[in-house]
Structure 1
Amino acid sequence: MRCPKCHAEIEEGYLYCKNCGEEIRIVPDYDPQVEDMLSGSLKDVVKEAQQNASEKAAGVQSAAGQSGEKTASNAGASASRKTEGTSRTAGNGRKRHSRKRRLTEGVLCICILAIAGLISVTLFRRNSYDYQYQLAVKAAADNDADRALKYLSRAMELEPDQTYMWLFKAQIEKDSGDREAAEESCRYILSKLDPDNQEVYTMLIEMYIEEGDLDSVKDTLSRCPVQAVKNSFADYIAAVPTASFADGIYYDTMEIELDADGLDIYFTTDGTKPTVNSTKYEGPIRLTEGSNTIRAVAVSPKGVLSDEAIFSYEISYLEAEPPVVSPDSGEYPAEVEIVVQVPDGCTVLYTLDGSLPTLDSAVYEAPVKIRTSTVFTAVSVSMSGRFSESVVRRYTIDGSASGDEE
């Protein structure tokens, strides 16, 4: 037998549940067929009593008739003897008839009382919540799901919307293989009776796991407000990936890092939905100029995918500011020291022969001294590789026709 409250197995002979302390009320075995048989038997008794009474009444009438005929045939007897015999016979007949009538009435009264008692007991049991519920418990213990649900349905009519009855109903349906009905019963409890019921959430999730329905496991856990349930099924929960930078517009090269509490992450950058077959995240994702969209999911230890995370970035490289070169172009009597102001976040490249600087040109790191006429050309290069406009300075040194860098 199982406890009607917590459904734990109860050892034979115990009158309470060791698990929750619930008192167990013992109900005598009851079989509707037995009561039908008893009712039928009592009806037969009444019918038989009525029949016997009729037969005995007919016998009295027959005896009276025979007595009359015998008196008529002996018409020659004396008048006093005739009168005495007739009076004695009639008196005896009335006494016998009275006794038989009282006997018949007594039998009928007993039968009526028995039938009334049976009807009262039947009606009491039919309308007793405790009795119907205990019958359901016994039927469930006997693995008779149909009878258990029948009795439980009647009990629920008598006392509707009892959470533990709906949970018992769901357990019977689950054990009998009717998962769809069990799920409906569980969802009724959560939506109408007890939205924080830990047992119901546990039963639902276990059913989904047994069926391999990981999407329903994920959905149920995401809506579950009971932390104890989430802790029990932690391996089925996947954290949503987060990014190291928020969505927005950026003006330089970026590298985005993803994290999901240490879980494996899969992502795409082409706008498609990520799956476990997408690129696995193993390091920072470098963004290029223009629009960039990262779509990512994490995977729990039990293979449940997290909700999708989408990150959008607009990378717009700024033009590099040109460097500031001094002194200005002109004629100088002797050595000239060229000083360059480098814009923030940039590198300055320069040449001394008038050509346009490239990535292979000299990098400005300190003032440049010249003693001969020189064409100094400089550009700034941003971290994104953007070149600024070039700045040209022409220095003429008296008595010099060519320029060399010191």
Structure 2
Amino acid sequence: MRCTNCGAMIPDDMLYCPECGMEVQIVPDYNPLEDVLAQEVKGSIEDATRQIRTDDIRRYRREGSREYSNSTRVLSQGELDEIRAKRNAAMRQSRQAGRNTAGNQRQTGRNTTGNIRQTGRGTTGNMRQTRPDTSSIRRQTTGNLRQRSEAEEKRRQQIARKKRLAKKRRQRALIIILLLIILGGVLGFAYYQNSYEGQIRKGNQALQSSDYSLAETYYNKAISKNNKKAEAYTGLSKVYIQQDDLEAAETVFLTAIGSQPSNVEIYKAAISFYVDTKQLIKVSELLDDCEYDEVLDGVRDYVSTEPEFSLEEGTYEEVQQVTLSTDNGTIYYTDDGSEPDTSSKKYTEPILLNKEGTNVIKAITVNKKKIPSLTASKTYVIELPIEDAPSVTPSTGQYESAGQITITVPEGYTAYYTMDNTDPTDPAVSAEEYTGPIDMPEGQTMFSAVLKNNNSGKYTQVTKRNYVLEISE
């Protein structure tokens, strides 16, 4: 509704204008005097045949208009019922007054016009007497509105109080949730600190600060919490590595593998340790002892198999050749009995065994990860047949004319001789190498000849001849 003073909109629950502060006058939207006036006019026409004067009706309307100029709102049902009851009482009084007026006219016989005027004046007076007391209605209406306002105020207070209580409950719930989160975080942090990961983290921090004793303690705690994970073993090995104790670091892994021979992760950690410390050959030594296929499959990139030999070990009476083969790397070998490495001879073609005696061939395979295999070794003995004692001509005897001594030398041999009956195979004797026929000396000569194998250095049996040369004149 709008304020009749300034025209501003007034909310339904307010009794004063928010702009000018004028009090809101609440009365019925209709004028009950109009009903009374209409009834009285009707009665006057029926009983007196004369209408009420127009100026009287206008006067009543002006008064009603002034009285109810601030009407802006429909009253409640109770208030309307009360107003209707008063209106009905006034109407009954008006009808009774009309009946009294008609009786007086019949008894006195006055002229109709005078009676009508008198009745009109009486009716007008009755209407004035029966006009509702608007001030009383306004007071009752104001009282009812005050009661309603107080009730609404109480309801608003109750709603506000409920809102405050709800807000407090929400605040308490948020505080409880926050406390639970904090408590959960504290418990989670405490759990993490005492967990495997927490011990590893603290061990790493101690290792970085070179507190080896504390780091060792944390890593051992981590192992006690979970001995299947490899991270703690790696950390513990680093404690010893930084103290230049590689043997103790290696023992960490070997002990763990001994108790868990099928744990692939620990094998991987041990291999990383050997690679980092440049002990590559120990990778093959470690895997050579492994009997679990799942482990070998898990670290197959580091497996380096030994080369295979085409010739079995043994003794041979003729020159031999041996072939080496592998399927996962490059082969390096030695033929002098030394240990092979990447600086040894690289295998590219079969190895010829043409040296009489013992031949030792050792070979390794180096895979793509630069991991050398264990050494494969084979021993071969070459024993070539020994020639018989050399053939020497002429045979033993006494000769009267000069001649030449000849030694038959087979291929692969060298002939040596002496002419003083000494042994040509004796290192202390200076034997002569045979290069061609030798003139037989005059007198008696004890000739000794021997053959030496050029490959094996072995000597044949010695052939001896006794010559006596006496030239006749």
* Shared fold, TM over 0.5: no
TM-score, scaled relative to structure 1: 0.39
Higher RCO (C-alpha under 8 Å, 6+ residues apart): 1
TM-score, scaled relative to structure 2: 0.34
Larger of the two Rg values belongs to structure: 2
